[in-house]
A and B are shown apart, each in its own frame.
Chain A
Amino acid sequence: MGVTKEQVESSLNSKLNPSHLEVTDISGGCGSSFAVEIVSEQFEGKRLLERHRMVNAALEEEMKEIHALSVKKAVTPEQWKKQQESNQSNPAA
């Protein structure tokens, strides 16, 4: 029953071909809930709502069983690089 972190990862990997992917199980035992951080070239030129829709669509089958999905980050490789750099130059942030 339910959906595993591995299933979520494999669907996102095959459909959005991410250069970085982090799936975290946030269910705390109450059912399938996941937080997702995803970096993909396919987000290029897409607004946030469209990006989230792409993630939802990639997980269409899993969503039937997932109780909560939180897309913490859906960024392009370029945005990701910038964010990493600013984190490094400003470790307190």
Chain B
Amino acid sequence: TTIRCSALTPELKTTLDKVVTSNKIVLFMKGTKDFPQCGFSNTVVQILRSLNASFETINILDNDMLRQGLKEYSSWPTFPQLYIDGEFFGGCDITVEAYKNGELQELVEKAMCS
């Protein structure tokens, strides 16, 4: 058997489950919504703002364990990572695409009203 090193401890997984389900919209990003520290993260913040969404942001630069664990939790290798209604929605490119075709607005409205 191979022993794999995992940053996603059971404790972190439980915490993340709680974070993504207790907030309608959560963005794990580099920096905060008031001070994004990467253009890709900033793009998603601006999109959510323009949709008048209320959302939480979590700065993955604050915690390397969180940063590594999240990559496994979402099966997604980069940041930002957007969660809507407890489900992983996508990174920057997917969010931009869904914003352009109206899909994101629909989903955000649904999440805010539920």
Stretch of A5-13, A17-25, A68-76, A77-85 that contacts chain B: A68-76
Q: Judge whether A56 and B76 touch: CB under 8 Å.
A: yes
A63 to B72 Cα, complex, angstroms: 13
Closest residue of chain A to B71 (Cβ to Cβ) is A63
Q: Judge whether A48 and B97 touch: CB under 8 Å.
A: yes
- Interface residue range, chain A: 10 to 19
A48 to B90 Cα, complex, angstroms: 9
State the majority secondary structure of interface residues on A: helix
- List A contacts of B93 (CB < 8 A): 52, 70-72
Q: Judge whether B40 and A52 touch: CB under 8 Å.
A: no
Q: Judge whether A52 and B77 touch: CB under 8 Å.
A: no
Given A48-B97, A48-B98, A68-B40, decide whether A56 and B90 contact each other with a Cβ distance below 8 A. no
Q: Judge whether A49 and B89 touch: CB under 8 Å.
A: yes
**How many residue pairs, one in A and one in B, have C-beta atoms under 8 Å apart?**
27
Q: Judge whether A52 and B91 touch: CB under 8 Å.
A: yes
B54 beta carbon closer than 8 Å to chain A = no
- List A contacts of B21 (CB < 8 A): none
A15 beta carbon closer than 8 Å to chain B = no
A71 to B98 Cα, complex, angstroms: 13
Given A49-B89, A68-B40, decide whether A63 and B77 contact each other with a Cβ distance below 8 A. yes
Closest residue of chain B to A48 (Cβ to Cβ) is B94
Task: Spell out B's residues near A (CB within 8 Å).
Answer: 40, 75-78, 88-94, 97-98
Q: List 15 A-B contacts (CB under 8 A).
A: A48-B90, A48-B94, A49-B89, A52-B91, A52-B93, A53-B75, A56-B76, A56-B77, A63-B77, A63-B78, A68-B40, A69-B77, A69-B78, A70-B92, A70-B93
Task: Spell out A's residues near B (CB within 8 Å).
Answer: 48-49, 52-53, 56, 63, 68-72
List of 9 A-B pairs having minimum Cβ-Cβ separation, nearest first: A63-B77, A71-B93, A49-B90, A48-B94, A56-B77, A70-B93, A52-B94, A49-B94, A48-B97
